[in-house]
Amino acid sequence: MSLSKPTTVSLSLLASARILVGASTLLIPTHSSFLFGLTPSLAPTTSTPALTLIGRLFGVRDAVLGGYLWTSLRGFQATRSNELAGRSGAGKGMNAETSPLTGSVPTHPDANALPGPSAEALSHAAKVQLTNALYLGLICDSVDVLSCLACIVNGDMTVRAEVLVAGGALAFACIGFAGLRALKGL
């Protein structure tokens, strides 16, 4: 069994959004902070060293989380596809051996070669990696939401920042949580 199409699309969009937001904040931190409403009194070309540093620290974190989620999701999908292809008998009759765990496996000319991990083991490892990617993102997003709430209570955020930053962090957390629930059902 694999993830549903809506879940896969949602997680792909989450990974892409993380990469995009992270890369933009890493590469153009002052413009990004202005776009998100974090610097209402500064023009988009005005920069402070602290603003630039904080933007880049946030940017690299989100870009790495997005990249890790993207590769984890692709790896999970690939192992699930291979596992399903093995179960359906794909490749039979083409110099292959059949095993109850891995389905159809190409034979190796060297009879003494060590076998690789089974498709089931690879699928489990890919699921664990995807789960870890989602938990890491959920932890960061939860802290982001709590930090935004503290700023909102103190009156330190513009309405634009409340919607884009706090709302974005909450949306990211909800998508990640939904992805974790979907994985748990597999």
The CA–CA distances, whole Å, from 65 to 9, 100, 109 equal 17, 36, 41
Per-residue confidence band for 22, with pLDDT thresholds at 50, 70 and 90 = very high
Residues 63-120: pLDDT tens digits?
A: 999 999 999 999 999 988 876 666 554 444 334 444 444 445 455 555 455 567 787 8
**Other CB atoms within 10 Å distance of the CB of residue 139:** 13
Query: DSSP assignment of 49-85, as one string?
Result: HHHHHHHHHHHHHHHHHHHHHHHHHHHHHHHHHHHHH
Going from N- to C-terminal start, the domains of the chain cover: 5-184
| Least confident window among 30-44, 65-79, 152-166 | 30-44
Burial string for 144-159 (b: 16+ CB within 10 Å, else e) reads bbeebeebeeeeebee
Residues 131-144: pLDDT tens digits?
A: 999 999 999 999 99
CA gyration radius for the chain?
A: 22
Instruction: Indicate the pTM of the whole model.
Output: 0.79
How are beta strands 96-99 and 103-106 bridged, if at all? antiparallel
Higher pLDDT, 104 or 157: 157
Query: DSSP assignment of 85-145, as one string?
Result: HHHTTTTTTSSEEEETTTEEEE--S-TTPPP---HHHHHHHHHHHHHHHHHHHHHHHHHHH
